[in-house]
Amino acid sequence: MSRYFTDEHEWIEVDGDTATVGITDYAQEQLGDVVFVEVPEADKEVGKGDDAAVVESVKAASDVYAPVSGTVTEGNAALADDPALVNSDPEGDGWFFKLTLSDPSELEGLMDEAGYKAFVESL
90 pLDDT band, cuts 50/70/90, is very high
Mean pLDDT of 16-42: 97
C-alpha distances (whole Å) from 22 to each of 12, 28, 79, 94 are 7, 10, 11, 7
Give the residue numbers spanning the domain of 34: 2-121
This model's pTM is above 0.75:
yes
Other C-beta atoms within 10 Å of 105: how many?
A: 8
Q: Which residues contact 70 (CB under 8 A, 6 or more apart)?
A: 19, 45, 46, 99, 100, 101, 102, 103
Q: Give the 3-state secondary structure of residue 108.
A: helix
Report the pLDDT averaged over residues 45-62: 96
Which domain CATH number covers 48? 2.40.50.100
Asked if the model's pLDDT at residue 34 lies above 90, the reply is: yes
**3-class DSSP state for residue 80?**
helix
- Spell out the alpha helix ranges (H) of 1-63: 25-31
Q: What is the mean pLDDT of residues 42-62?
A: 96
User: What SS3 class is residue 44?
Assistant: coil
CA distance linking residue 67 with residue 51, whole number of Å: 10
Decide if pLDDT at 79 tops 90: yes
Q: Quote the pLDDT of residue 66.
A: 98
Q: Report d(CA 81, CA 37) in Å as an integer.
A: 9
Count up the domains in the chain and report the number: 1
How confident is the model at residue 1, as a pLDDT?
A: 87
Query: Measured between alpha carbons, how far is 78 from 102 in angstroms, rounded to an integer?
Result: 26
